[in-house]
Structure 1
Amino acid sequence: MSKTIHVEEAPQFPLPFSHAVRSGDFVYVSGQVGVNPANNEVVGNTIEEQTRQCLANLEIILGKEGLTLDHVIKVNAFVSRSEDFPGYNRTYAEVFSSPYPARTTAPVDLGAYLVEIDVIAYAPAKRGESQ
Structure 2
Amino acid sequence: MNKTIQTDKAPFAIGPYSQAIVAGDFLYISGQLPINSVTGEFAGKDITTQTKQCLLNIKAICEAAKITLNHIVKVNIFLQDLNHFMDMNVVYGELFGDHKPARAAVQVARIPKDALIEIEAIAYLK
Same topology, TM > 0.5: yes
Is the Cα contact below 8 Å between 2:31 and 2:119 reproduced in 1? yes
Deviation digits for residues 39-87 of structure 1 (CA, Å, limit 9, x no counterpart):
2201111111000010000111111111111110000110111111110
Return 5+ residue gaps in structure 1 as ranges. Answer: 125-131
1:99–1:9 distance in 2 versus 1, CA, 3 Å: closer
Is the Cα contact below 8 Å between 2:70 and 2:99 reproduced in 1? no
User: Following TM superposition, by how much is the alpha carbon of 1:112 offset from its aligned partner in structure 2, in angstroms?
Assistant: 2.5
Cα distance in 2 for residues equivalent to 1:14 and 1:119: 18
* Secondary structure class of the residue paired with 2:44: coil
* Secondary structure class of the residue paired with 2:114: coil
Residue 25 of structure 1: aligned partner: 25
Residue 11 of structure 2 is aligned to residue 11 of structure 1 = yes
Percent of pairs with identical residues: 40
Residues 1-131 of structure 1 aligned to structure 2 (within 5 Å): 1-108=1-108, 109-110=110-111, 112-124=114-126
Q: What TM-score do the two structures reach when normalised by structure 2?
A: 0.92
* Greater shift in the superposed pair: 5-14 or 39-48: 5-14
Following TM superposition, the consecutive aligned residue runs of length 4 or more in structure 1 with deviations greater than 3 angstroms are: none
Return 5+ residue gaps in structure 2 as ranges. Answer: none
User: Following TM superposition, by how much is the alpha carbon of 1:15 offset from its aligned partner in structure 2, in angstroms?
Assistant: 0.6
Deviation digits for residues 22-55 of structure 1 (CA, Å, limit 9, x no counterpart):
0121100000011110122011111110000100
- RMSD in angstroms over aligned alpha carbons? 1.2
* Greater shift in the superposed pair: 3-12 or 83-92: 3-12
Cα distance in 1 for residues equivalent to 2:56 and 2:120: 12
- Which has the larger Rg? 1
Is the Cα contact below 8 Å between 1:74 and 1:120 reproduced in 2? yes
- Whichever structure has more helix as a proportion of its residues is 2
Is the Cα contact below 8 Å between 2:8 and 2:37 reproduced in 1? no
| Corresponding residue pairs, total | 124
Cα distance in 2 for residues equivalent to 1:16 and 1:67: 25
